[in-house]
Amino acid sequence: MLESLAVGAVERLSYLVPKEKTVPFLLPESPEFLRFPEVLATGYMVGLMEWCCIRSLAPFLQPGEGSLGTMINVKHLAATPPGCLVNIESTVISIFGRQVVWRVVAHDSVDIIGEGEIGRTIVKWDYFNSKLEQKKRLVQPMNNSATVNNFESRE
């Protein structure tokens, strides 16, 4: 990571919420999610906050580096229907070695819809990918014998 990233650095991101980023679309195999109203899903809101942080960090990474989400402490405060523009602002609040933490705030044209902190850790992709391949080899035999996505209906 380049040393020029500093506490106080700000990044902004705007996103027009489509219907496909609402709660019923988060996990369509879940009948429970399908019953919720079409409002921006918390999972997608957190994804937008992370995206803003990723963009904040990108100019400071060395070739072969990336970042992984390692901490989320966020409140979802207000519903946002499709068609609303969401604006996210991330501000670097701490840098400790390869770990960076941002204060994030998201708002639509009416409310602050979410706020909190997001942490990401800078990694070297070669190292991360080699560890990931090791894990894939370990879990492959388990997946061959396990039942996957065995959801019981509670209807």
Active-site annotation, residues: 42, 50, 76
DSSP reduced 3-state for 80:
coil
Identity of residue 26: L
DSSP reduced 3-state for 74:
strand
User: 121 is written with which tokens?
Assistant: 């850790």
* 3-state DSSP percent of the chain in helix, strand and coil, to 5: 35, 35, 30
> Of 118, 119, 39, 54, whose CA–CA distance to 86 is shortest?
39
